[in-house]
Chains A and B, each alone.
Chain A
Amino acid sequence: MIATSRSPLLVVVHLSVLLLVALWTLPTAGLLISSLRDKDQLAVSGWWTALSTSSQNLTGRAAAPEAQIERDGKFVISGKLIEGGDAKVSAFGFRPLQPAAFEAGAVADLGEGQTLTVREDGSYEIVSPTKMEGTRGQRIFYTASVPPRFTLDNYREVLNAEGIGASFINSLTVAIPATIIPILVAAFCAYALAWMPFPGRAILIAVIVGLLVVPLQMSLIPLLRLYNGVGAFFGVPAKTYVGIWLAHMGFGLPLAVYLLRNYMAGLPREIMESARVDGASDFDIFVKIILPLSFPALASFAIFQFLWTWNDLLVAMVFLGAGNEELVLTGRLVNLLGSRGGNWEILTASAFITIVVPLIVFFSLQRYLVRGLLAGSVKGG
């Protein structure tokens, strides 16, 4: 665009774009990486350390005294602190204030003749000259270097135990019809507004442009009352999938009609006139010529509407309810934020499941999304 030759300025440009890209992608990358990490590691170290062997200060407990066995006249409790086995213990201790008082393999004096040894592989041994009493095992603090561990366990857990799987189906149930049904309705309306002269057309278009920006909040309470009324009148539940499909259709229509009308109005007049000369009716022209030609605009709108219905929280909360059965993914995620706020292994995996579908749509159909954005916004200026 600008005739910039290779210059120091270009290096600055490269670096600043790199910085911006990093700022924009790192949060998502952090989420994705964290969701794949072992949940114990995730809780104690940053995701940027995911690939390095981490040194962790851990606490374990030896087996209870009832597990002791008598060996050579002494009482011994032994076992392993770490399951799995890749970790290496470098130091250990038995007092909270001195968690790393002894090197691995050293013998620590617990008093009263008892000794504790923790070896590098995580196995421990408590030796006592007398029979040990009590119900709880000795607490052992140790420092271990744990190799990075990646797992799909977090995903398995949220899909089954946290209801994310069911919510995923709910979200699909909401989004698919709510995307497809408005298209045809909007397309017919857009064609009439673009190519059929009738009195009041300009005013109608102006009204639709106005409706584009009406805040959803204006609709919520009246529609909730209306739905409750309809539900009570016909003796059906007020919060149904049909209700939310129609709501999403109503809220999506202004954009749909506006986008499609703009696109159709830009189609060449000659095509329609020659078809009309050949005796085609408006209906024929629309179905056989306009609809196929408008495919890019229809695709743009479909993507918008799908992203919007899939990502929507407000409409689903109001018109589908917040009960456990009918929660969509976004609603479920908000609930998990409240109930499992500290369990990042659950939150990150759940969040990634909710965003993966829109991301697939985004990366595969980006072209249409961009086109739709341009048609919807630039024309207004």
Chain B
Amino acid sequence: MQQLLFAIFTMVGGVLACVAYFFGTNFLLDKMFPSKGLTGAQASKNLRITNAIRPWLFMAPALFALTVYLVYPVFESVRLAFHDRSGQQFIGFSNFAWMINDGEFRQSIFNNFLWLLVVPALSTFFGLIVAALTDRIWWGNIAKTLIFMPMAISFVGASVIWKFVYDYRAEGSEQIGILNAVVVAFGGTPEAWMTIPFWNNFFLMVILIWIQTGFAMVILSAALRGIPEETIEAAVIDGANGLQIFFKIMVPQIWGTIAVVWTTITILVLKVFDIVLAMTNGQWQTQVLANLMFDWMFRGGGDFGRGASIAVVIMILVIPIMIWNIRNATKEMEGH
């Protein structure tokens, strides 16, 4: 309880400090370069100075935080990737050489590519299907809310939920995991799903797909609503059926949004960590990069060089999407 009070106190303090900073610096700026009550040239000169300084005052706290927490670490991680476990000794490409020869790393890369292939594709696919179908039924919004709901659940919470679904009891005893219960009901034998190499990756992916479909659905549903009615009406008049309209008229018009959804989920997949940690912690050949990196951060007292080099690999995989995003954003701003 006490720490909660401390938290609320800090929160109020933090907000007040922000207000004080913004108000105070702004006040000082106006005092130092007054523009009211002065004449002509001096006033407009002061006005120019304040206008040049003020944006930076407004942005300073945010830019400082961004620099310390994101920009500096990127460069520092790259530097550390070329250093030994403590970050003191420069060792060139040794970390990367180790990586290429490390079976666990290769396993992680392979699994990450599997995740990249499957999760964004299926999440987007299900999201699109749900978005298109729920638009036509009266209880569509309820359905959407329920499918969107897993978005709010933490990866760890979702892992527990699905671990319960996958729960395994020896053959013959009653299964309490629903997946094995269904398998048994259809005459199959129960399996410990998490321990079947290769396929267990897919059982982990199901969790992320389950979470992300709602996200894809929300975005794609809005995009579908934005399609001009006329194009669809024209297709109906031409005698197109529902499927043709969907695939030939609607989907092509929202390719841009599909790409955004796809890339957003791709980024998330590259960082997937909690699910693997909670479900298998990389056992049974389910290791992924983010979990491997976390592992090396603390394994044997922590190997910062190897950890950082794995982080750099994740970063390199993200860069193409980053460039694509920046290009899109700049294009859009020019359009304004």
Q: Do A and B bind each other?
A: yes
Chain A contacts to B: CB under 8 angstroms: 1-4, 9-10, 13-14, 16-17, 20-21, 24-28, 30-31, 34, 42-48, 169-170, 172-174, 176-177, 180-181, 184-186, 188-189, 191-193, 196, 198, 201-202, 204-226, 241-242, 245-247, 249-251, 253-254, 257, 265, 281-283, 286, 307, 310-314, 317-318, 330, 333-334, 337, 344, 347-348, 350-351, 354-355, 358-359, 361-363, 366, 369-370, 373-374, 377-381
Partner of A377, one of B1, B26, B260: B260
Which of the candidate stretches B38-46, B59-67, B99-107, B113-121 sits at the interface with the other chain?
B59-67
Partner of A333, one of B146, B157, B162, B311: B157
Name the distance in Å between B137's Cβ and chain A's nearest Cβ: 6
Name the distance in Å between B64's Cβ and chain A's nearest Cβ: 9
With A192-B55, A334-B277: A206-B329 Cβ-Cβ less than 8 Å? yes
A241 to B13, CA, bound (A): 14
Partner of A283, one of B8, B22, B130, B328: B22
With A177-B11, A185-B18: A215-B218 Cβ-Cβ less than 8 Å? no
A–B pairs, 13, beta carbons within 8 Å:
A24-B210, A42-B176, A48-B178, A184-B18, A198-B52, A218-B73, A219-B73, A222-B76, A334-B278, A348-B160, A374-B222, A377-B260, A377-B264
7 closest Cβ contacts across the A-B interface? A250-B69, A311-B154, A189-B62, A362-B152, A222-B76, A381-B256, A351-B160
Inter-subunit contact A221/B307 (CB<8 Å): yes
List chain A residues, Cβ under 8 A from B224. 1
A4 to B243, CA, bound (A): 12
Known contacts A1-B224, A34-B164; 19 further A-B pairs (Cβ under 8 A): A1-B232, A26-B178, A30-B164, A170-B3, A176-B8, A184-B19, A196-B55, A198-B52, A206-B329, A219-B70, A220-B73, A221-B307, A247-B69, A254-B70, A311-B154, A314-B294, A354-B154, A374-B219, A378-B219
Q: Which residue from chain A places its CB closest to the CB of B236 in the assembled complex?
A: A3
Name the distance in Å between B264's Cβ and chain A's nearest Cβ: 6
Contact pattern, B 123-146, Cβ under 8 Å of A = 1, otherwise 0: 000100110011111001001011
Inter-subunit contact A20/B147 (CB<8 Å): yes
Inter-subunit contact B7/A176 (CB<8 Å): yes
List chain A residues, Cβ under 8 A from B234. none
A373 to B256, CA, bound (A): 16
With A21-B146, A24-B147, A378-B219: A206-B256 Cβ-Cβ less than 8 Å? no
Q: Which of A185, A307, A313, A363 has the most CB of B within 10 A?
A: A185
Partner of B130, one of A20, A257, A337: A20
Q: Which of A176, A226, A377 has the most CB of B within 10 A?
A: A377
Which of the candidate stretches B90-98, B197-205, B267-275 sits at the interface with the other chain?
B267-275
Contact pattern, B 311-331, Cβ under 8 Å of A = 1, otherwise 0: 110110010011001101110
Inter-subunit contact B178/A188 (CB<8 Å): no
Q: Which residue from chain A places its CB closest to the CB of B305 in the assembled complex?
A: A221
Q: Provide the main secondary structure of the chain B interface.
A: helix
Q: Which residue from chain A places its CB closest to the CB of B163 in the assembled complex?
A: A337
List chain A residues, Cβ under 8 A from B133. 13, 16-17, 20
Inter-subunit contact B148/A366 (CB<8 Å): yes
Name the distance in Å between A148's Cβ and chain B's nearest Cβ: 15
Name the distance in Å between B272's Cβ and chain A's nearest Cβ: 11
Q: Which residue from chain A places its CB closest to the CB of B68 in the assembled complex?
A: A250
Q: Which of B133, B140, B215, B329 has the most CB of A within 10 A?
A: B329
Inter-subunit contact B336/A265 (CB<8 Å): yes
Inter-subunit contact A27/B161 (CB<8 Å): yes
Q: Which residue from chain A places its CB closest to the CB of B321 in the assembled complex?
A: A213
Q: Which residue from chain B places its CB closest to the CB of A331 in the assembled complex?
A: B156
Name the distance in Å between A271's Cβ and chain B's nearest Cβ: 17
List chain A residues, Cβ under 8 A from B336. 265
Residue B150 at the A interface, CB < 8 A?
yes
With A17-B143, A25-B146: A185-B7 Cβ-Cβ less than 8 Å? no
Residue B109 at the A interface, CB < 8 A?
no
Q: Which residue from chain B places its CB closest to the CB of A172 in the assembled complex?
A: B4
List chain A residues, Cβ under 8 A from B122. none
Inter-subunit contact B71/A169 (CB<8 Å): no
Q: Which residue from chain A places its CB closest to the CB of B166 in the assembled complex?
A: A27
With A177-B14, A355-B152, A373-B218: A241-B315 Cβ-Cβ less than 8 Å? no
Residue B208 at the A interface, CB < 8 A?
no
Inter-subunit contact B278/A333 (CB<8 Å): yes
List chain A residues, Cβ under 8 A from B326. 206, 209-210
Chain B: residues with Cβ within 8 Å of the partner, total of: 126
Inter-subunit contact A221/B164 (CB<8 Å): no
Inter-subunit contact A215/B271 (CB<8 Å): yes
List chain A residues, Cβ under 8 A from B307. 220-221
List chain B residues, Cβ under 8 A from A170. 3
List chain B residues, Cβ under 8 A from A14. 137
Contact pattern, B 253-289, Cβ under 8 Å of A = 1, otherwise 0: 0001101110010010011011001100000000001
List chain B residues, Cβ under 8 A from A313. 154-156, 273-274, 277
A43 to B55, CA, bound (A): 62
Inter-subunit contact A377/B219 (CB<8 Å): yes
A186 to B15, CA, bound (A): 12
Q: Which residue from chain A places its CB closest to the CB of B275 in the assembled complex?
A: A313
A56 to B13, CA, bound (A): 58
Q: Which of A34, A209, A242 has the most CB of B within 10 A?
A: A209
A358 to B58, CA, bound (A): 32
Residue B333 at the A interface, CB < 8 A?
yes
Partner of A193, one of B15, B59, B73: B59
Residue B167 at the A interface, CB < 8 A?
yes
With A188-B58, A196-B58, A380-B328: A217-B150 Cβ-Cβ less than 8 Å? no
Name the distance in Å between A102's Cβ and chain B's nearest Cβ: 23
Residue B6 at the A interface, CB < 8 A?
yes
Inter-subunit contact A378/B260 (CB<8 Å): yes
Q: Which residue from chain A places its CB closest to the CB of B180 in the assembled complex?
A: A46
A1 to B177, CA, bound (A): 40
Residue B251 at the A interface, CB < 8 A?
no
Inter-subunit contact A169/B61 (CB<8 Å): no
Inter-subunit contact B137/A17 (CB<8 Å): yes
Partner of A241, one of B3, B294, B310: B3
Partner of B325, one of A174, A213, A218, A317: A213
Name the distance in Å between B301's Cβ and chain A's nearest Cβ: 13
Q: Which residue from chain A places its CB closest to the CB of B179 in the assembled complex?
A: A27
With A214-B318, A241-B6: A378-B257 Cβ-Cβ less than 8 Å? yes
